[in-house]
Amino acid sequence: MSETPLISHRIRRLMRQAAEAMARGEFMVARDLARRVTDGAPEFVDGWMMLTEALAEMGEYQSGIDTIEHAITLHPGAVALEVQKCKFLMGLARRDDCLAQVRALQQRQDLDPWALDMMGLFLSMLDQVSEAAVIYEQLSELEPDNPENHVNLGMARMALGDLEQARQHAERALEIAPGFARALALIANLRTATEEDNSLESLQAALLSVRSLPERIALGYAHGKELDDLGRWDEAFCELRDAGLAKRQIAPYDQTRIDQVVDAVMEQHDAEFCTGYADGCASDRPVFIFGMPRSGTTLVERILGAHEDVVPGGELRDFMDSVNLAIGRSPGQLLDATGVVESAALDPARLGERYLESVSARVGHQKRFTDKLPLNFLYLGLIARALPHAGLVHVKRNPMDIIFSNFKILFADLNAYSYTVRDTATYYVAYERQMQHWERVMPGRIHTIVYEELVSDTESNVRDLLSHCGLSWQDQCLQPHRGRAAVTTASAVQV
């Protein structure tokens, strides 16, 4: 049934007002306006999209998924609504359900560029990079003059180890849009700059005409990286410092909160707590690899992932989110001190089972698998209780190398400490304090690998690692660079 002109005019006015409220960041206002649209014209799909977008911005993921599922019953087969549902599944940490939803959508023939772009994003977030690359290939063919498509495909190719094709796509993006920040940043991260092969002039020109703070940040880190490659260290430091301070404007960091979490963990997770193995889940499938970012955790995962009985899981947030959901917290956030106390009372077996259920679609049900989220070093007491037979592998590296490596990288939300040297160093001290606690209360439980020793005496260290994990010796573990798994962290070029 078509809308009457009067209703159509009113609905469009409400939609315009809702869009303006969204642009101002007034998400509750936008939600209320969009709800008036869906109440008055439930047949208008865009109204449901606006309403759920406002709910997503508010972090109202359960309300959002209830709303989107109701909308789908009214509009069965509406691609936009089916894609939007993925956003709420991710927000609720239902990652396997999100993956199933995206894979179902891949079978459809009526996907527009927006839908494909969102599907590629979700697949990338779920570390399904090979599938994401296929999506971005389709997009680059559908919209060959969209530079975003070429950069997204280039990033997927980099994660898959195809650095030459990654660079070709970045250069194609620059042909379409000279000075495009994401393309320049990708090229900077694809190779070590030399006097003969660098992008300094392009980066400097782009910085002079930058249009947004995110562009300024991406270009600044890329410029700093190239200056560092060229040995112009004073200039590199200043550029990275300024880019980090710019990032700090939109990504605040509170070291006091981290210190309080460490204090609470050390108080709650004593030796008695951590060795209460009898109550945990019996599975020995997970191998948790942890340490500071840039310490060598990716290399260790690739070594284990080369074993025929191991699936490399990447940086899974599922244990952290299993804890959050079990104590009624929103997923995606590090526990605060109160959450540490609350989580200490969780049923360990159920927590372990919840975690295994949450990752099953991505790592399967049979083989061992790795989980290398660096932040898991804060959760080792809960992991030891919930999964007492899991492998625990700590990767250490020279502190100066770690601190400067962290400072040089434009990390995402979970590593917000890294935008200044002082915060990075202070965070490192908290990490060391936490790890010393685990060694005291769980002596012999954690297998420690020193990165420098792994590089200088690889075979001996790999044998010890496989033995700790209960895995047989396989020669291919000495050739992790030949592995087929994607690397979606900052280590993609190095491994």
Task: Give the pLDDT confidence of 160-173 residue by residue, as tens digits.
Answer: 989 999 999 999 99
Q: What is the pLDDT of residue 491?
A: 43
Average pLDDT score over the chain? 92
Q: Which residues contact 317 (CB under 8 A, 6 or more apart)?
A: 93, 331, 332, 373
Q: How confident is the model at residue 481 (pLDDT cuts 50, 70, 90)?
A: confident
Q: What is the pLDDT of residue 361?
A: 87
Q: How confident is the model at residue 332 (pLDDT cuts 50, 70, 90)?
A: confident
Q: What is the pLDDT of residue 57?
A: 95
- pLDDT of residue 216 exceeding 60, the answer is yes
Q: Which residues contact 194 (CB under 8 A, 6 or more apart)?
A: 229, 230
Q: Are 289 and 447 in contact (CB under 8 A)?
A: no
- pLDDT of residue 495 exceeding 50, the answer is no
Q: What is the pLDDT of residue 10?
A: 87
Strands 368-371 and 447-450: unpaired
- pLDDT of residue 276 exceeding 80, the answer is no
Cα(first)–Cα(last) distance of the chain, in Å? 58
Q: Residue 469's closest CA among 259, 250, 306, 268?
A: 306
With a pLDDT cut of 70, the percent of the chain lying above it is 95
Report the side by side order of strands in the sheet with 368-371. Answer: 310-312, 368-371, 286-290, 391-396, 447-450
* C-alpha separations of 164 from 170, 197, 246, 493 in Å: 10, 14, 31, 11
Q: What is the pLDDT of residue 5?
A: 43
- What is the average pLDDT across 233-258? 95
Q: What is the pLDDT of residue 472?
A: 96
Q: What is the pLDDT of residue 3?
A: 45
Q: What is the pLDDT of residue 241?
A: 97
Structure tokens at 115: 């839908």
pLDDT digits (tens, 9 = 90+) for 289-323: 999 999 999 999 999 999 999 999 999 999 999 99
Q: Are 213 and 249 in contact (CB under 8 A)?
A: yes
Q: What is the pLDDT of residue 428?
A: 97
- What is the average pLDDT across 117-135? 95
Rama region for 93: left / alpha / beta (φ>0; ψ in -120 to 50; rest): left
pLDDT digits (tens, 9 = 90+) for 72-121: 999 999 999 999 999 999 999 999 999 999 999 999 999 999 999 999 99
How many CB atoms within 10 Å of residue 62? 13
Q: How confident is the model at residue 9 (pLDDT cuts 50, 70, 90)?
A: confident
With a pLDDT cut of 90, the percent of the chain lying above it is 88
- pLDDT of residue 420 exceeding 70, the answer is yes
Task: Round to whole Å and give the CA distance between 403 and 295.
Answer: 10
pLDDT digits (tens, 9 = 90+) for 425-472: 999 999 999 999 999 999 999 999 999 999 999 999 999 999 999 999
Q: What is the pLDDT of residue 494?
A: 42
Q: What is the pLDDT of residue 268?
A: 96
Q: What is the pLDDT of residue 2?
A: 42
